[in-house]
């Protein structure tokens, strides 16, 4: 009897303990819920250049603003950009005129009138090289770029503090045909001019039609194409996919582009 009573008491005690502290209900772990809430991270880029990073115009805009005091302030802008470009163009023209005058003296035609020179078909002007040809094409492209991005904002807004990558990206989105044609021509011509100018300056250009000269010609053009491709894949791809600017900023950009002459934007 006593043993049965003790067993009954122990069972009642066990039941009461279960009522006070019931066994825990299995619930999904918090880690599993957290994993469902968090999105998957993007895979790291495997390509070089600005386009491979996956960032847009807003990411690179601060870097442009950091360099603006060096190329858009007085007197650094005239000293670093305007004066060197102007000197380079004028010196190239002066050098061609000097060589032309030397040819006139060499052939004894310095005192001949222009009509007589044309009748005799005298070739007094020096041949136009690849570097010179690309330079003559590049000059109006650079002037147009400076007019749209520097002169127009200065005339209608008093400065270009509000002009950045967003302004260029807005132009690509609003007027894609004109923007892509102009900037591709600018980048391609500038790359060819830089590479051919450096090659001629260092004496890497071979004269004639020999095998070595043709191979050197292909190598120089290949470097120019690679430079242009890298330039376009980086900077132009960023601004080309930036899209339109909204609100009053976009309206201001549209007003500036509408002031471009000869082209109805």
Residues 221-234 pLDDT 10s: 999 999 999 988 87
pLDDT at position 109 over 80: no
pLDDT confidence band for 54 (50 / 70 / 90):
low
Question: CB of 245 within 8 A of CB of 173?
Answer: no
More confident residue, 89 or 244: 89
Is it the case that residue 34 has pLDDT exceeding 80?
no
**Selection from 5-9, 77-81, 161-165 with the highest mean pLDDT:** 77-81
Burial (CB count <10 Å: 0-12, 13-18, 19+), residue 30: exposed
Mean pLDDT for 233-251 is 81
Q: How far apart are CA 258 and CA 178, in angstroms?
A: 13
Is the overall model pTM greater than 0.95, yes or no? Answer: no
Higher pLDDT, 188 or 245: 188
What sign has the CA pseudo-torsion 92, 225, 177, 164? negative
Mean pLDDT of 94-115: 82
Instruction: Classify 129 as helix, strand or coil.
Output: coil
Q: What percent of the chain has pLDDT over 70?
A: 77
Contact predicate 41/149, CB 8 Å: no
Higher pLDDT, 224 or 10: 224
Q: Average pLDDT over the chain, rounded to whole?
A: 78
Q: DSSP secondary-structure letter at 53?
A: G
Cis peptide before 75 (omega within 30 of 0): yes
The per-residue pLDDT for 19 is 54
With contact defined as beta carbons under 8 Å apart, do 138 and 95 qualify? no
Domain ranges for the chain: 128-258
Which residue, 176, 181, 182, 164, is CA-closest to 256?
Answer: 164
pLDDT on residue 48: 43
For residues 117-136, one letter each, b for 16 or more C-beta atoms within 10 angstroms of the residue's C-beta and e for the rest, the string is eeeeeeebeeeeebbbebbe
Instruction: For residue range 158-179, list pLDDT tens digits in order.
Output: 887 778 888 888 889 888 899 9
Q: Choose the most confident range, by mean pLDDT, from 96-100, 138-142, 199-203, 245-249.
A: 138-142
């Amino acid at each position: 009897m006593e043993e049965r009573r003790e067993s009954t008491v122990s069972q009642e005690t066990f039941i009461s303990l279960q009522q006070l502290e019931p066994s825990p209900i299995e619930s999904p772990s918090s880690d599993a819920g957290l994993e469902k809430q968090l999105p998957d991270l993007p895979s790291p880029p495997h390509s070089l250049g600005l386009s491979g990073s996956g960032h847009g115009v807003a990411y690179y805009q601060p870097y442009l603003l950091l360099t603006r005091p060096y190329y858009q302030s007085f007197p650094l802008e005239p000293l670093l950009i305007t004066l060197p470009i102007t000197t380079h163009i004028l010196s190239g023209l002066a050098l061609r005129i000097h060589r032309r005058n030397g040819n006139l003296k060499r052939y004894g035609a310095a005192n001949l009138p222009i009509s007589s020179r044309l009748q005799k078909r005298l070739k007094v002007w020096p041949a136009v090289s690849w570097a010179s040809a690309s330079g003559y094409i590049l000059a109006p492209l650079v002037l147009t770029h400076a007019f749209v991005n520097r002169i127009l904002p200065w005339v209608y807004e008093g400065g270009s503090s509000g002009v950045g990558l967003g302004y260029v990206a807005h132009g690509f989105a609003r007027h894609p045909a004109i923007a892509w044609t102009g900037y591709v021509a600018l980048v391609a011509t500038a790359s060819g001019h830089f590479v051919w100018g450096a090659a001629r300056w260092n004496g890497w250009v071979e004269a004639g039609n020999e095998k070595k000269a043709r191979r050197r010609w292909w190598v120089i053009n290949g470097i120019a194409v690679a430079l242009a491709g890298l330039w376009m894949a980086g900077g132009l791809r960023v601004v080309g996919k930036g899209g339109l600017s909204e609100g009053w900023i976009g309206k201001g950009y549209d007003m500036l582009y509408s002031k471009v002459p000869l082209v109805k934007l």
